Amino acid sequence: MEFIADLLLIAAALGAAFYCFILSRRLSTLNSAEGGIGKAIATLSEQVERLERTLEGSRERAEDVDKRLRSAIEEAGRAEAAIVAALAASPPVRTAPKTQGPRPEPQPASFRRRLFSDAAAERET
């Protein structure tokens, strides 16, 4: 019985040693700079640097557009003031009286007869 217990204990120790060996290989792969977390961290760091450069360029362009837009708004305000002053200085404009739009053309008699005969036929049914 002791012999069987010793064999089971040796088998369990060999299984644990094999499992530790597999874990060791996986951890070394995971931590390597070529294919694991190290590579992922290096890639992410590079992408963050590129994103920061892009963001800075976008910020500079937005500030430039903001300046141009502000100057265009100020210029439009000055133009509006000049137009309002010109309109205030000009004499009032007389408008022609409003006329009614064109009259609808009368329909031919044959069209009216057909229209009324269709309506009468619908009432009879």
Q: What is the pLDDT of residues 31-61, one digit of tens each?
A: 776 667 777 788 899 999 999 999 999 999 9
Asked whether the predicted pLDDT for residue 64 surpasses 70, the reply is: yes
Dist. CA 23–CA 17, nearest whole Å: 10
Confidence at 106, pLDDT banded by 50, 70, 90: low
Asked whether the predicted pLDDT for residue 25 surpasses 60, the reply is: yes
Distances (CA, A) of 87 to 6, 81, 96: 111, 10, 19
Average pLDDT over residues 16-30: 89
pLDDT score at 116 = 60
Average pLDDT over residues 67-84: 95
Q: Which helix (H) or strand (E) holds 48?
A: helix 37-89
Its pTM stands at: 0.41
Pairwise pLDDT comparison (91 vs 119), residue with the higher score: 91
Dist. CA 16–CA 68, nearest whole Å: 71
In this structure, are residues 23 and 30 in contact, taking their beta carbons and an 8 Å threshold? no
- Domain residue extents for the chain: 13-90
Specify the range with the lowest mean pLDDT, choosing from 1-5, 14-18, 73-77, 104-108: 104-108
Buried b (16+ CB within 10 A) or exposed e, 15-34: eeeeeeeeeeeeeeeeeeee
Q: Can you give the C-alpha Rg of the chain in angstroms?
A: 45
pLDDT score at 74 = 96
